[in-house]
Structure 1
C-alpha cells in the first residue's frame, strides 16, 4: 500500500470517527428530546384528570354499560386508567399492578413519577399522579414507546448514511490532496532508488520548499555531493598509491633478482636473503593489487565459491605459528562452509591474525575459534581504548598508541571491506585483557 493511499485512508478514518461521534451525540439528543416531549404530553394529560373522569362517567351513563372506572381506556393515542381509593398494593390488575410507590402517591407522601412498563407485550411510558381533590384516587396515563421509534429509526439511517458517505468523500479528498503534498517525498524516493540501483552518486534532488521535506531534500543533495567527492577522492588515492608504489617495487624486484644471481654477491648467505626479500616484495605487490580490487568490490568483481572457513583459518594459523618469537596459538575450528572469494577471505583472516600477533606480548596466548560462520580471535595485548572502538575498521585510522608501530592503517579496513562485500559483519570487543575481533559470514547450509 502506497503512502498516498495510507494518508487517504487515515484522513477518511479520522473524518469517519468524527462524524460517528457527532452522529451519536445528535441521536442521543434527539432521543432525549422525544422522551421529554412524551413525558410532557403524559403530564399534561394527567393534569386534565377531573375533566377526563367526568367524560368517562358521562359516557358510561350514555351507553348504559357497567364498565368500572378502573379499567384502562384509550383517549386519543393515550391509555388512561383511574385507580380509585382506597389504593392498595397489587390491586387493579386490569393494567399494571399497583406498587408501594403508587400507594405512597395516593396518600400524598410521594410525588408523581414516570416509568417504563410492559403490558400485553407492548412497552409503555407510564405516568402516575394523584387526581386533585380526589381523596386518594390515582390517574395513570401511558403511551407506547414505539410512537417515536419511527423518527429515531429514520434519523439513525440518515446519520449512518451521512457518516459513511462523509468518511468515503474525506478519504478520496485526502488521497487527492496527498498526491500534491507528498510529491517531494516521491521525488526524494525516486532519487534514492536511482542511487541504490545505479550507484550513481551524481543524482540530484530539486526540492525548493522551506518546510521539513525541503530541508530534507537539500540535506540529501549536500550528502550526495559530499559522498560523491569522498568516493572519488578514495579511488584517486588508491589509484595514485598503486601507481607510485608499482614503479619502485618493480625496480626493487629487478635489482634483487640481479643480486640473486650466482655472481651477484660474494657472501654465501646473500642469495637466500635476497630471495627472502623478493618474496616480501611479492607480498607487497599482492597487497597493492588487492587494494585495487577491494576498491572495485561493489562492482561485483569478487570470485566466490564454496570455501571451508575452518581450513582457511588453519592455514593462516600455521603460517603465523611458524614465525620465530610469535605468541602461542590455541584454536577450536569447527567445520564451516561459506560461499566467498577464498583469497580475499584468507587475506581478511590473515590481517586479523597479524593484528593479534602484533599486539600480543612475548609468550602470550592467541585463541582462535571458528563455528557457524563466525571467526573470532582473542589476544592478550593492551586492548583498544573505548574511544577508538567505533573507528578501528576505518581506512587509514590509527590510534595514538599505534602510530609509533609499523603499519599503514589499512589492515582492519581491508577486513571490513572484504567481509561486508560477502554480506557479513565485523566487530571489535574490548576485554579486561586484550581484545576479541569477530567476523561473521553467511553459512552455506546442506
Structure 2
C-alpha cells in the first residue's frame, strides 16, 4: 500500500470518526427533544379539551345521533378521550382500560401522568389528566394519545440520514485526502526517486530540486547537502587511496629492491651489504612514518570525540622544548600568553609539533624560529626560503609537496594533519609568505573560564 493511499485512508478514517461522533451527539440531542415535543402536544391537547368537548356536544345535538361519551375523538394525529365522572376502574370499550390510578387522578389523589401503551397493535404515548374545569373531588378525566410511530419514524429517518452522511462523508474525505496527498507528497516521491537512482547507479551527483519552506523542503535541502558532502568524501577517499598508493609504492619498491640484492649469491658478504641494509632501514622508517601519518590523519577526523580544556601556551612550550633539544636545532624565541582552548590535547600537540617540525626543516643553519601564542592564535615564523605564491593555496592539502620540497624527506601529510585537527574543533589554519621565511597561523576558539 502506497503512502498516498495510507494518507487518504487515514484522512477518511478521521473524518468518519468525527462524523460518527457528531451523528451520535445530534441523535442523542434530537431524541429527547422529540419526546418532549410529543409530551407538550399531548398536554396542549388536554388544555384545549373543554373546547373540543363543547364542539363535540354541539355536533351530537345537531345530528340528533347519540355518541358514546368515552369514544376517542380523532383530532389529526391526536386522539382525545373523555371519561365522565364518576371514574371507576374497569375495561373500556373504545380505548385502553381505566385503572385505579386513573380513578385516583379523577379524585385528585394523584397527579396527571404519561404512559406508553399498546392498543390494537399500535403503540401510543398517553397523557391522562383531570379535565380542565372539573371539580377536583370527582371530575371527568381526559386522555390525549399519539402514536409513538410519529417520533420513532422521525428518529429512524434521522438515524438513517446521519449514517448515510457519515459513510458518504468518510468516503469523500478519503478520496479528497488521497488526491491532496498526491500533490502534498510529490516532494517525497521526487526524493524517493533520487534515492532509488543513487542506489541503482551509485551516482552521487544526483540532485533534488525542492525549494519549499516546510519540513519536506528542509529534508530535500538536507539530502542535497548530504549528497554533496558524500560525493566530496568519496572523491577525497579515492584521491587519498590513489595518493597513498603512489607514496607507499616508492619506498616499498626501493626496500624490495635492496632486500632482493641482499638475497643474491653474495648476500651479506657483498661489500655493499651494509649500505643496502642502512638504505632498507631508512626506507622502512619512511614507510612507518607514512603509515603513522595516514593513521593520524584518519584518527583526527570529524569523528574525534575527546575534548577538554587545554592550555595552548603550555602545549606549545612542551613542543618547543622537545624541538630545541635536538641536534642542529635552530634558535627558538617564544612569546606565550596563557590561552585556554577546548580540544583533544594529544591531537593539538601533534598539530603544533608538525608546524614546529616544518619550521625546523626549512630553517637555515643558525636560523631563528619565533613561536607566539595569544588570544587563541598560535603563529610559528621561520627564516627559511618561504613558499612560492602559487603553492600557498595547496600547502595544507594531503600529499602536496612543492617542487623544492620533493627532494627532502617527508610524506606530505604533516600540514594536512594540522588542518584536519584544527578544523575538527572549529578553527582555521593559514600560511603567510614573508619577505624572508613563512608564518604559519593556527587559530582556535577560546574557551572562556
Name the TM tier (shorter chain). Answer: 0.5 to 0.7
The residue number in structure 1 matching 2:108 is 108
The residue number in structure 2 matching 1:183 is 186
Contact 1:72/1:95, CA 8 A, preserved across alignment: no
Q: Provide the rounded CA distance (Å) in 2 between the counterparts of 1:96 and 1:224.
A: 90
Contact 2:9/2:174, CA 8 A, preserved across alignment: yes
The residue number in structure 2 matching 1:392 is none
Q: CA deviation at 1:45?
A: 1.8
Q: CA deviation at 1:132?
A: 2.5
Q: Provide the rounded CA distance (Å) in 2 between the counterparts of 1:201 and 1:85.
A: 103
The residue number in structure 2 matching 1:237 is 240
The residue number in structure 1 matching 2:99 is 98
The residue number in structure 2 matching 1:207 is 210
Q: Which has the larger radius of gyration?
A: 2
Q: Which runs of structure 2 are paired with 1:287-302 in the superposition (5 Å)? A: none
Q: Which runs of structure 2 are paired with 1:39-438 in the superposition (5 Å)? A: 39-53=39-53, 55=56, 59=60, 62-64=64-66, 67=68, 69-70=69-70, 74-84=74-84, 91-92=90-91, 95-96=96-97, 98=99, 100=101, 102=102, 105-108=105-108, 110-135=110-135, 136=138, 137-266=140-269
Deviations 1:414-444 (A, max 9, x none): xxxxxxxxxxxxxxxxxxxxxxxxxxxxxxx
Q: Provide the rounded CA distance (Å) in 1 between the counterparts of 2:33 and 2:348.
A: 88
Distance change (3 Å), C-alpha of 1:210 and 1:250: same
- SS of the equivalent of 1:265 reads helix
- SS of the equivalent of 1:210 reads coil
Residue-pair matches, total: 287
Distance change (3 Å), C-alpha of 1:31 and 1:63: same
Q: Provide the rounded CA distance (Å) in 1 between the counterparts of 2:194 and 2:111.
A: 79
Q: Provide the rounded CA distance (Å) in 2 between the counterparts of 1:79 and 1:168.
A: 45
Q: CA deviation at 1:71?
A: 5.9
Q: Provide the rounded CA distance (Å) in 2 between the counterparts of 1:21 and 1:41.
A: 31
The residue number in structure 2 matching 1:18 is 18
Would you identify which runs of 4 or more consecutive aligned residues in structure 1 move more than 6 Å? 399-404
- SS of the equivalent of 1:115 reads strand
Deviations 1:152-192 (A, max 9, x none): 44444444333333333332222222222221111111111
Contact 2:90/2:97, CA 8 A, preserved across alignment: no
Unaligned stretches of 5+ residues in structure 2: 295-304, 307-343, 350-449
Deviations 1:48-103 (A, max 9, x none): 333445537985994457x5x45656454433334455657x64566156364x45
Q: Provide the rounded CA distance (Å) in 2 between the counterparts of 1:178 and 1:76.
A: 56
Q: Provide the rounded CA distance (Å) in 2 between the counterparts of 1:216 and 1:402.
A: 35
Provide the TM-score with structure 2 as the length reference. Answer: 0.53
Q: Provide the rounded CA distance (Å) in 1 between the counterparts of 2:83 and 2:91.
A: 7
Q: Provide the rounded CA distance (Å) in 2 between the counterparts of 1:110 and 1:205.
A: 85
- SS of the equivalent of 1:204 reads coil
Provide the TM-score with structure 1 as the length reference. Answer: 0.53
Contact 1:13/1:167, CA 8 A, preserved across alignment: yes
Distance change (3 Å), C-alpha of 1:251 and 1:403: farther
Distance change (3 Å), C-alpha of 1:208 and 1:76: closer
Contact 1:71/1:95, CA 8 A, preserved across alignment: no
Deviations 1:388-415 (A, max 9, x none): 7xxxxxxxxxx989999xxxxxxxxxxx
Distance change (3 Å), C-alpha of 1:236 and 1:96: farther
Distance change (3 Å), C-alpha of 1:250 and 1:96: farther
Contact 1:70/1:92, CA 8 A, preserved across alignment: no
The two structures, once aligned, show a CA RMSD in angstroms of: 4.3
Q: Provide the rounded CA distance (Å) in 2 between the counterparts of 1:134 and 1:19.
A: 52
Q: Which runs of structure 2 are paired with 1:2-41 in the superposition (5 Å)? A: 2-41=2-41
Q: Provide the rounded CA distance (Å) in 2 between the counterparts of 1:223 and 1:11.
A: 33
Q: CA deviation at 1:38?
A: 2.5
